[in-house]
Amino acid sequence: MTHRPALGDDPIANHRLLQEVLDSRPPGKLELPTGRWRLAEGLRVPGGWTIRGAGPGLPATPAPAAPVTPTPAPATPAPATPTPAPAPATPAPAAPATPAAAVAIAAAVAPTVAVARISDISDSSESGATWLESESRTGHPVLHVIGSGVSISDLALRPAPSDPGEHGGDRGTGLTIGEYLYTETPDWVSDVDVRRVRVDHGALRTANAIGVMGAVREITLHEVSVTGGYTAVAVHWGAVGADVSSITGPTYHPNHLTLTDLRVRDAIEGFYLSSIHDVRVTGACLRDVEMGFRLLPGDNTNRFVSSSEDVGARVEISDVCVRWTGPRYAVRIAGWGKSEVDGVVSVLAYRNCLIHDVRLAGTGTGESWSPVLFERAVGVDLRDVAVTTIADSCCRLA
């Protein structure tokens, strides 16, 4: 069943209409029209739904694939009820007391870097795009995927201004899949496909753009474009607990994730992967960022995992270009983490992890900096990583 709701100028009515379709109708297709649609609150997306916008990159009037059921607007809009979200998360910073070996890679001729096949979603194409713009001050994502078998495509998302704080990785985003802190043992969210999605934070640098958190697997992100914000794509472990210092095992680790053709502009960071396994990132252009990307073990590494988790195994990052200016590094690869539960420092043994065909263009702003910071990350191999201090166009996408 395909639903094509009639949206209007009232953000409360728009939110109520869309959330009612998602909550009360059998899973189907939700097709949204061209335009900028304000929402009083973010939307929770249960399992089984396909949400599709009109652009960019779609025909003006796509042919319906199933019978269409018109969805009338509610006669009397009711105020949106904010959905509580878990306490946020951000990878733990390095503890000064722990020794770290910084590896500075000598400048070299750049390797051939694959050109990401990303449609240029620019202001000139916004007339054919579908925008969802949140006006919420609760920090809820514009779209929060909470169930399996979900497909999201051809949308532009603008989160409301927010400052979720140091542990706010899943808050204030355009899109979050899963959660960081759960109130009870979660069901795994799997088989989620995201394509041709743009998240625009504007000039703000306080919240992430996309969060992939906790008990999630078999996730595909393809042709994602991000402007502004803190980290464009934040991939982070999760657990049951009220806050980061009181979690109870087991921990849940995103796995079997594919991220291709990522384009980031004017954010603090392109992406990070924290305490994950079976992840492939390829074809990313990260411009005018303070950090390109980080591979991290998580605060607790694999101390609380279940027997089925294989944290730190089979990670590949390739064909990435970074144009950066930041205080410490363009890339950080760390193997140690310090728990906020009991203060224990543990080291993760990576296995079959490779970072290759990467170009880094730029310089640090601090007195001491390195293009690549390598900290006790045994099991991670580097190949064809080229560095230049000339902040030119980092790839042909620029």
| 34-82 confidence digits (pLDDT tens) | 999 999 999 999 999 999 998 743 333 333 444 444 444 444 343 333 4
Q: Which pLDDT does position 248 carry in this prediction?
A: 78
Across 122-142, average pLDDT:
81
Whole-number pLDDT of residue 116? 37
Element (H, E) at 303: none
Q: What is the mean pLDDT of residues 333-355?
A: 91
Per the prediction, the chain carries an average pLDDT of 84
307 pLDDT higher than 50: yes
Q: Tell whether the model's pLDDT for residue 94 goes beyond 70.
A: no
Sheet holding 43-45, edge to edge: 43-45, 143-145, 175-178, 210-213, 231-236, 269-274, 291-296, 329-334, 370-375
* Lowest mean pLDDT across 241-245, 278-282, 392-396: 392-396
What's the pLDDT score for residue 395?
Answer: 66
- Cα dihedral across residues 199, 90, 239, 252: positive or negative: positive
CA–CA separation, 157 vs 309, rounded Å? 33
More confident site: 394 or 46: 46
Residue 150 tokens read as 């979900």
> What pLDDT, on the 0 to 100 scale, is given for residue 292?
98
Contact 170, 46 (CB under 8 A): no
Query: What's the rounded Cα separation, in Å, for the pair 266 and 287?
Result: 7
Interval 156-182 mean pLDDT: 89
- Residue from 351, 344, 262 nearest 315 by CA: 351
Lowest model confidence (mean pLDDT) among 100-104, 139-143, 265-269, 294-298 = 100-104
Q: Rounded to a whole number, what is the largest CA-CA distance in the chain?
A: 66
Task: State both tokens at 44.
Answer: 């929770």
pTM for this predicted structure: 0.82
- Over residues 267-289, mean pLDDT: 97
Residue 249 has pLDDT above 80, yes or no: no
Q: What CA–CA distances, in Å, run from 244 to 87, 165, 167, 180, 316?
A: 8, 13, 8, 9, 28
The separation between CA 381 and the C-alpha centre of its own chain, rounded to angstroms, equals 24
| Cα distance between residue 354 and residue 90, in whole Å | 24
What gap in Å lies between CA 253 and CA 308, rounded to an integer? 10
Please indicate whether residue 293 or residue 398 has the higher confidence score (pLDDT). 293
Query: Per this entry, what is the length of the chain?
Result: 398
Residues 6+ apart with CB under 8 A from 325: 288, 290, 362, 363, 364, 365, 391
By C-alpha distance, which of 257, 341, 249 is closest to 299? Answer: 341
The answer to whether the CB of 136 falls within 8 A of the CB of 305 is: no
Nearest in space to 214 (alpha carbons), one of 242, 239, 246: 239
d(CA 151, CA 197) in angstroms, rounded, equals: 11
pLDDT of residue 295: 98
| Rounded Cα–Cα distance for residues 365 and 55 (Å) | 39
Question: Where residue 168 falls among pLDDT bands split at 50, 70, 90?
Answer: low
240 and 335 Cβ atoms separated by less than 8 Å: no
Q: Please tell me the predicted confidence (pLDDT) of residue 107.
A: 36
Sign of CA dihedral 60, 65, 68, 74: negative
Q: pLDDT tier at 127 (50, 70, 90 boundaries)?
A: low
The more confident residue out of 200 and 301 is 200
- Provide, rounded to the nearest whole percent, the portion of the chain with pLDDT above 90: 67
What was the pLDDT predicted at 313?
97
Q: What is the mean pLDDT of residues 374-398?
A: 85
Classify residue 348 by its DSSP letter.
-
pLDDT of the residue at 397: 54
Question: Phi and psi of 326, rounded to 5°?
Answer: -150, 175
